[in-house]
């Protein structure tokens, strides 16, 4: 078996996940892309574990731990997204701007800033 | 290129195609379903790599639990079902450039490092027997820590989703 095939597949899958995290707007789709990145890492771990014939099976056991952590991460992430949806009625990461720095005066949209100020006052 | 390599590349193409369609589709439910395809392809890759136990755990946890959880999230946030052009943000071209740069960097590194490396793989290294004795002998402390982590995540999710134990009015 050539180790380069699983390694290249895993690298490409990680890049796909990077694109998804950066390009998606819906928070649940961002979570899905994060899952893709975690799975790319898992494939690398399993491939190199099998490749080195690790007697302690470190790579495969670490893969199991990664799956456990990913499950916990999805559970907590969805709880946070549902909380955001309950408070804001929106899950678009572009629309959650209350933590950003103030815009340069004169550049922003005054109506949107006023709406945000009202929202932040809640 | 042996039969194992061919099977691995084909399953990798399935996983990659599912991943690409998952991050580019315009229908949010289809994204979750393409994610199932990607996870299934990866589970097949684990099987080809002789890691049977990890493959079945992948099917059980990811395809069985995580995707169902994501579908629940899609429904509970009342995501628009059907075609929706607003799922991608405007900076998707920047994201594409970053992703292509990441892929180029990683693939170049991997190919330069392991380009011609070849070794035969024997079955049996990934059975539940071998992995179980490893987990409960060498890796038993991380295993226990993982259980505490799951408990913490469970408590955290409950605290986040209950409305009657939040901050009081005026805080």
A57 contacts in chain B (CB < 8 Å)? 125-126, 130-131, 134
Q: Which residue has the tokens 């295993």?
A: B143
**Residues paired with residue B118 on neighbouring β-strands, in sequence order:** A2
Is the CB of B119 less than 8 angstroms away from the CB of A1?
yes
Q: Which pLDDT belongs to residue A109?
A: 57
Q: How confident is the model at residue B1 (pLDDT cuts 50, 70, 90)?
A: confident
A15 contacts in chain B (CB < 8 Å)? 99-100, 102-103, 106
Q: Which pLDDT belongs to residue A37?
A: 95
What ipTM was predicted for this assembly?
A: 0.90
For residue range B33-64, what is the model confidence (pLDDT) as tens digits?
999 999 999 999 999 999 999 999 999 999 99
Q: How many residues does chain A have?
A: 122
- The SS3 assignment for A78 reads helix
SS3 sequence of B21-76: HHHHCCCHHHHHHHHHHHHHHHHHHHHHCCCHHHHHHHHHHHHHHHHHHHHHHHHH
Q: Which pLDDT belongs to residue A66?
A: 94
B115 contacts in chain A (CB < 8 Å)? 4
Per-residue model confidence as pLDDT tens for chain A (122 residues): 889 999 999 999 999 999 999 999 899 999 999 999 999 999 999 999 998 888 889 999 999 999 999 999 999 999 999 999 988 888 888 888 888 877 665 555 555 655 656 666 55
Sign of the Cα pseudo-torsion (B10, B16, B19, B20, in order) = negative
Report the share of chain B in percent with pLDDT over 90: 70
Per-residue pLDDT at B89 exceeds 90: no
Q: Which pLDDT belongs to residue A107?
A: 55
Is the CB of B19 less than 8 angstroms away from the CB of A6?
no
The CATH architecture that domain B1-114 belongs to is Up-down Bundle (1.20)
Is the CB of B42 less than 8 angstroms away from the CB of A43?
yes
Is the CB of B45 less than 8 angstroms away from the CB of A9?
yes
Is the CB of A50 less than 8 angstroms away from the CB of B139?
no
Q: Which residue in B has a C-alpha nearest to residue A44's C-alpha?
A: B46
Ramachandran class of B104: left when φ > 0, alpha when ψ lies in -120 to 50, beta otherwise: alpha
Residue B7 tokens read as: 């099977």
C-beta separation of B8 from A3 below 8 A: no
A30 contacts in chain B (CB < 8 Å)? none
For residue range B2-19, what is the model confidence (pLDDT) as tens digits?
888 999 999 999 999 999
The domains located in chain A, with CATH, are 4-94 (1.10.287.3510)
Give the separation between CA A25 and CA B28, rounded to whole angstroms: 11
Q: Which residue in B has a C-alpha nearest to residue A8's C-alpha?
A: B107
What rounded mean pLDDT belongs to chain B? Answer: 90
Per-residue pLDDT at B122 exceeds 90: no
């Amino acid at each position: 078996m050539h180790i380069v095939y699983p390694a290249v597949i895993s690298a490409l899958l990680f890049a796909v996940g990077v694109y998804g995290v950066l390009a998606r707007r819906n928070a649940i789709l961002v979570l899905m892309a994060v899952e893709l990145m975690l799975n790319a890492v898992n494939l690398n771990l399993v491939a190199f574990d099998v490749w080195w014939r690790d007697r302690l099976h470190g790579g495969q056991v670490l893969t199991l731990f990664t799956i456990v952590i990913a499950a916990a991460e999805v559970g907590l992430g969805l709880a946070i997204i549902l909380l955001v949806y309950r408070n804001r009625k929106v899950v678009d990461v572009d629309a959650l701007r209350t933590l950003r720095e103030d815009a340069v005066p004169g550049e922003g949209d005054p109506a949107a800033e006023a709406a945000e100020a009202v929202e932040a006052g809640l | 290129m042996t039969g194992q390599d061919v099977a691995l590349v084909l399953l990798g193409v399935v996983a990659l195609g599912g991943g690409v369609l998952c991050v580019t589709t315009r229908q949010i439910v289809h994204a979750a379903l393409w994610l199932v395809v990607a996870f299934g392809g990866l589970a097949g890759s684990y099987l080809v790599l002789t890691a049977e136990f990890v493959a079945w755990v992948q099917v059980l946890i990811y395809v069985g639990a995580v995707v169902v959880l994501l579908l629940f999230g899609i429904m509970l946030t009342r995501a628009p079902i059907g075609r929706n052009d607003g799922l991608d943000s405007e900076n998707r071209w920047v994201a594409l450039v970053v992703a292509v740069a990441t892929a180029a960097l990683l693939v170049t590194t991997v190919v330069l490092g392991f380009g011609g490396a070849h070794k035969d793989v024997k079955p049996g290294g990934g059975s539940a027997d071998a992995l179980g004795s490893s987990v409960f002998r060498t890796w038993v402390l991380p295993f226990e820590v993982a259980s505490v982590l799951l408990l913490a995540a469970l408590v955290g999710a409950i605290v986040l989703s209950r409305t009657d134990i939040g901050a009081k009015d005026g805080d």
